Structure 1
C-alpha cells in the first residue's frame, strides 16, 4: 500500500529545489571574486530586482516572485549569505512563529517529532501565545481657526491590537469580537471529543492570520485493491485578526506549515465551516460537528469516486480536451494568449506522463496533475508584501482554485459513464 502524505512529498520537492538552486547559486558565486558583483549582475540581467537596501525579488524561473534577504558580515560589510524568505512571522524571542510535528520544507520552526497535546506549549512554540484586544479608533483633527488639533473618536469603528506588541492588525465594527488563539485550540479539542495531538501552528502577516491543525485518526484509501493510494487527512483551522475574513475550519490532506492547504474537489462537498467573529460564535459546537462530520463521511464518497477515476483509462488526446475545457481559448485570441495556453498544455502533459508512471494512464492521474499544477505551478501574481510562493500558499489556504478543481473532477467523472 502506498501512503500519500502530500506534506512529505511537498517537503521533499522543495528541499530538492532549494538544494539545486543553492548549488547553482554557490557555483555562480564561486566564479565571482566579489559576491556583490554577482548580485549586481543578476540585477543588470533582469533576473532580480532590488526592492530594499538588502532585499531582492527574483523575476524569472520557477521561483519567480520569491524575495531574498542579503546578510552581510558585520566586520567587513561583505555579503555573507543570501536567504530565501518563507513568509512566516518572527516571534518576540526571535524564533520563526511555527510549531510542527514534522520538519517543514524550509527547515524552520520548532519541530517536536510525533507532536504534543499540550495547548499552552504549542501556543508558545508556534509564537502565538498572545491575545487580541479591541480598541476605539481615534484621530486628530483641527478646524480652521483652532489653535491645536483635537482628538476624536470614530463611532462604530475599532482597531484590533496585539497585546504583546501593541501592533494594529485591522479595523473592525462594533459587533466584531476577537476569537483568541487559545480559544481556537479549545474549540478544535472540544470538536473531536477525544485526545488531540497537534500537528502544526503558527502565524502569518504579522499575526493577522493564525493557523492550527490536527491529524484525523483514519486515513482514506484510493483503489484499495490496486494502487492503494492512502491519503492522510487533517482538520485545520485558520483565524484572521484583521477583520478581513471569518475564522474557518477545513478538512484537508495538507498540514499547514507555511500557509499551504488543499481541499477535496467533489461536487458540492462542504469541506469548511465558517465562524463569524461575534460573541458566542464558538458555542455552536454541535453545528460544527454535524458540518465537519458530514465532510469526513463525504471523504469516503470522495475516495470511492477517486477509485473509479483510477479505474478509468485516459488517452493523451482526451486529457488535452479536458485541459481545453478547463482553460478555453477564444477564437480571436492573440498570439500571447495562445502561447500561454501552449506552454500550459505542455507542462500539464509532462506532469500527466510523470503521474502515469506511478498511477497508470488514468483519469485519477489526470486529476492529480491538474490539482498539482494549480497548487504548485500555475502563475501567481503576488501582492506588494508577498512573494509568489506565499501568494500561491495563500491561494491554497483560501481556496482560490476550488471551483476549477471541482470542474476538473466533474469533467473527469463524466468519462467513467461513457
Structure 2
C-alpha cells in the first residue's frame, strides 16, 4: 500500500505552478525584448512581426498579477459551441479557429471547419400597420437557414449565391495543382464570408542584395447583405508582414465580381478565365518589382513621392497639417525599417507605402468589428488598391529615368 503525503504533494504541485508561471512571464518578456510585441496601453499589446503584425491582444492576470490568459481581439464570429468560425492551414499566434496543419483539400470539410456550411434564403419584408402585419412586395430579407438570423435587405431580383456554389469552382484548382485551402472564415454573423487558396509557386524578387519572396493567393469573398458582390481576387502577399498588393500591371485582370442575381452562379465560371491569367500577371509583377529593387532612392526622393500621393494644400487647416505631418512621420519610420532590410531603393519605398496602408494608417472599425479585423477586411477587399496602384506607377517612373 502506497501512502501519499498530501502536504508534500501540495507543495510539489505549488512549486510546479510557480515555475510554470515564471517561465511564461519570462517567455512573454523575451518577446517584448526581441521587439516582437509592444505594450499599447493597460494590458493590451500589439504584434510587431510576422503574419499577425498589427493585431492586438489583451493579457488577463490573476490575483497575484501573473499572466492568466492571452485574449485575442480578433473580431471573428463565434459558433454556438463557443469556437471561432475560422479555418486555417497553419496556426496563428492567438491559436484561434480550427487549425489543421498542412491544410485539407476537400471543400465540404473546409466549409464546416470555417463555419461556412450554411445556406441563405430570402423571406418577405413585413411591417406593422393599423394593427395588422403587411408584406412589402418589393423588399425581402436575406436570412441564414441554420439560425434564422437576418443578414440584409434586398430587392425582388436578388438571388443568393450560396457559399458552396460560389466557392466550389476553386476545388478544381485545388485538385489540379495539388494545393490546399489556406483559410476560411465568417465575419459579421455571416453577412460576409471568405475563403482562400495558396498557389503552388512563389515569386522571387531578384536584385543585388535582395531575395524577397512573394506568395500568390486566390481569395474569394461572398456578401449576403445585398450591399456587396461575390468577388474573386488574385493577390500577392509578403509573408514577412502579410502586406497585400494588387497592382495595375498592364493587361492583368486580378479582380472579378458578380452581383447576386439569377444566372450569377453560371457567370462565376468566368472567374476561371481570370485565374488562368494569374501566372502571366505574376511574371510581369516580378519583373517590375525587380526593377524597383534596382533603383536607388534617397529619403528626399521618397518624400517627393509621398507629397505627390498625399498633397497638402497651402490653405489647409491646422488639423489637416497635423495629420499630414503624422502621416509623413509614420511613413518615414516604415521606410527606414524597410531600407535596413532591402536597401534604400524604390522597392523599399513601395514596401513602406504598402505597409503603412495595411498596418499603420488610421482605420475606423464598425460596431461589430475590431480595428484589426477592419484592417484585415480592408486588405482582403482592396480598400486601398487605388492608392497602391498610384504609388506603384509613380515609383515605376523612377526606373525609367
TM-score after normalising by structure 1: 0.77
List structure 1 segments (4+ residues) > 6 angstroms apart after TM superposition: 66-73
- What's the CA shift string for 1:72-105, capped at 9, x where partnerless? 99xxxxxx86844311000122210000001124
Aligned to 2:166: 184
Q: CA deviation at 1:266?
A: 3.0
Whether the aligned pair in 2 keeps the contact of 1:98 and 1:110 (CA below 8 Å) is: yes
Cα distance in 2 for partners of 1:351, 1:198 equals: 32
Q: CA deviation at 1:312?
A: 0.2
- What's the CA shift string for 1:131-176, capped at 9, x where partnerless? 111111122210xxxxxx1221111211111111110101111221
Distance 1:385 1:170, change over 3 A: same
1:89 paired to 2:57: no
Whether the aligned pair in 1 keeps the contact of 2:98 and 2:114 (CA below 8 Å) is: yes
Aligned to 1:299: 282
Quick one: which of 31, 36, 39 aligns to 1:21?
Answer: 39
Quick one: which of 120, 124, 145 aligns to 1:132?
Answer: 120
1:414 paired to 2:397: yes
TM-score after normalising by structure 2: 0.80
Q: CA deviation at 1:287?
A: 2.5
Cα distance in 1 for partners of 2:221, 2:213 equals: 25
1:92-241 matches, within 5 Å, as 92-142=80-130, 149-190=131-172, 194=176, 195-223=178-206, 226-241=209-224
Cα distance in 2 for partners of 1:167, 1:71 equals: 36
Q: CA deviation at 1:297?
A: 1.4
Aligned to 1:358: 341
Q: CA deviation at 1:310?
A: 0.4
Cα distance in 2 for partners of 1:219, 1:402 equals: 22
Q: CA deviation at 1:68?
A: 7.0
Aligned to 2:48: none
Cα distance in 2 for partners of 1:385, 1:69 equals: 21
Can you give the 5+ residue segments of structure 1 that lack an aligned partner in the other structure? 1-12, 28-61, 74-79, 143-148
Cα distance in 1 for partners of 2:120, 2:59 equals: 30
Q: CA RMSD in A?
A: 3.2
Cα distance in 2 for partners of 1:267, 1:189 equals: 27
Whether the aligned pair in 2 keeps the contact of 1:191 and 1:285 (CA below 8 Å) is: no
SS, match of residue 260 in structure 2? coil
Distance 1:398 1:315, change over 3 A: same
Aligned to 1:348: 331
- What's the CA shift string for 1:230-254, capped at 9, x where partnerless? 2111111000111111111111234
1:252-331 matches, within 5 Å, as 252-254=235-237, 262-267=244-249, 269-284=252-267, 287-331=270-314
Q: CA deviation at 1:394?
A: 2.2
